[in-house]
Homo-oligomer: A and B are copies of this chain.
Amino acid sequence: MNQSGSISGFPCEQQMPYRQLLDEGQVELLQRNSNVVNYNKKDIIFRQNTRTSHIMLMVSGMVKIFKEGRNERTVLLRLATPGEYIGMMSVMGDQIHQYSATAIENADICFIDINAYRNVLMENGKFSLQLTNLISQDGLFIFNRLMSQTHKQLPGRIADVLLYFAEQIYKQPHFDFPLTRRELAELAGTTKESFIRTLTEFKNDKIIYLDGSRVEIISMDIVKTLSELG
């Protein structure tokens, strides 16, 4: 098993979305049936095509969710940060993971027993409805990311990656890429070389400042325009 996986009794209560909709008994039930697992950078959390076993909730760190294709092609779907469920759609869908997840930095993940969780869903309609909401939003999000990869050309896709980090992940226009160029390319749906080339063009055109993994978006307007033009 490629996971450093040390189990701790640490509660994951504070990261659970809509925890306030749960009553004491429900919190306690989930508490009794969950535990936090620590992963080191590069550890595999789950592989696609394996059976789902638990509800997984990010407590700390960052994880990449990706689909592995037959011919080496892998597609990076999204990054998951604390407070987000991972693999939820597969758990609720067909019980087989449709994608893989690995830690891109040390991460703590809360594992919750599926049956306990389902019981809570069944007896708490409001909580359940909110979960439906979360899953739907997650679906729409991945869906938009894939649309970007499918139907925009390179500059638009690279712009989307920049916006993804600036708006969704770090919520500021300057940040360090937490991924290699290869992984960034997988996130943009292209190759490492093409990604580098286009990013360099952005740099030369003074749209961004770039030094290694350090990025600063100089002209957010242009990036957004590129994203919209596709």
Contacts and interface: CB of A to CB of B under 8 A. Distances in A.
Interface stretch (A70-78, A162-170, A192-200, A207-215): A70-78
Given A118-B129, A132-B132, A75 B147 contact: yes
Interface in A126-153: 126, 128-129, 131-133, 135-140, 142-144, 146-147, 149-151
Max count, chain B CB within 10 A of own CB: residue among A71, A150, A230: A150
A228 interface: yes
A94 B71 CA distance: 36
Interface residues of A, number: 44
Chain A residues touching B, majority SS: helix
In the complex, the count of this chain's copies comes to: 2
A229 B144 CA distance: 25
A190 to B, nearest CB: 10
14 contacts: A71-B229, A73-B151, A75-B151, A89-B140, A90-B136, A91-B136, A92-B135, A92-B136, A94-B137, A122-B128, A125-B125, A132-B135, A135-B136, A135-B139
